[in-house]
Amino acid sequence: MKRRLRRSLKRAGDAAVGAVAIGLIKALRLIPPDLLADGAGLVTRTLGPLFRENRVARDQLTAAFPEKSPAEIEAILRGVWDNLGRLGAEFAHLDRLWDFDPQHPERPSRFDISRTSLDRSIALAEDGKPALIFSAHLGN
């Protein structure tokens, strides 16, 4: 009986947390993506140094880069926290970040694709043969 009650309470708690998370994401989607990213970067740059992980990261950066000054290490850490906040903010707008239409490459997009890359991709898609595509994410 106790076990069943505990399980039911856990499920109800998980459902409540999920509903709050979905509501938060829906609310964040009302904020323009660039403004949201700037705000999230500011928040994480401000709060990040208060966490224990910041001290661990500082120690690791100092060990990995002994030639860097404390000011340079702090600049790196600020950049890390800023990037983490911006990355988190992207999730609210994930479906809006990539809206490229290869049939209308003249339409504005948040990403630039060279004409050569676009032509090569279209040729691969239309030649009827299998292809291996290798890519890398270098944004972070």
| Structural domain includes residue 64 | no
**For residue 58, is pLDDT > 70?**
yes
**pLDDT tens by residue, 98-124:** 777 777 777 777 777 788 988 888 899
Q: 3-state class of 137 per DSSP?
A: coil
- What confidence score (pLDDT) does residue 54 get? 97
Measured distance CA(44)–CA(51) in Å, rounded:
10
| Structural domain includes residue 14 | yes
| Structural domain includes residue 4 | yes
| Structural domain includes residue 18 | yes
Number of structural domains, the chain?
A: 1
| Structural domain includes residue 114 | no
Nearest CA to 26 out of 87, 74, 93 is that of: 93
Beta-strand ranges (E) seen in 74-129 are: none
| Structural domain includes residue 116 | no
Evaluate whether 35 touches 99 at the Cβ level (below 8 Å).
no
**For residue 61, is pLDDT > 90?**
yes
DSSP state of 106: T
- Show the domain range for 23: 1-30
| Structural domain includes residue 24 | yes
